[in-house]
Structure 1
Amino acid sequence: MGSSTWGLGELQDDWNDFLPRLEKVELSGKKVAFFGTGDQEGFGDTFVEALGIIHDAIEGKGVTVIGKWPSDGYSGTGSALKDGFFVGLPIDESNQSDMTDDRIAAWTEQLKWEIA
């Protein structure tokens, strides 16, 4: 599941209608991975906050979250950061676009291992 974070930690508009429906879906036993975009320098306190919002909405539904990503190399924080790891892959095209391709490649390999 993916989303950009808008404004000061808000969900992308598409999620506002979809998230309440998702909360009603039976997800027990499913593996879920998150990715999102944000600006850690301009909005450091709410960096990829949308991922935290989505994660928290389905966390207690029996899902297994895969694809957690270390916070090393990031300066942003927010609800998507838990115990030193983001709940998914954060992408910051505004400040670290040179790292995006390598991060996606590494995360994809990590997901392949976690799905198996």
Structure 2
Amino acid sequence: MPAYGFAHLRSRRNHPDIIEYLERIQRTLDPFAGHFVIHGPPTEVVEGSWPGSMVLIEFPGMAEAKAWYDSAAYQEILHLRTDHIEGDLLLIEGVGPNYDPRERAAKLRAQA
């Protein structure tokens, strides 16, 4: 089952460290088969408000996502982003290709 690194980046400051981070991040993802699915603007907010931008990185599974985040290569560049961009990063497991939200609804209905 795929897993994702989801980042909500609320405040951004252009800084040479951010450019270096962008130049180096893909090399940290490659050993874990990670790739960008979404990387920042533009966005079209159709409900509510969304301050900032979004990044979504896909991995084959949660083990690879965690291993990437904990890797020495990523930890070495992490400060280049966190020193200049306020945000949150989540690692979250995706749903499989046969996911049916009606099954979740049935479980919730049974618990109610």
Q: TM-score, normalised by structure 2?
A: 0.28
Q: Which has the higher strand share?
A: 2
Q: Which has the higher helix share?
A: 2
Larger Rg: 2
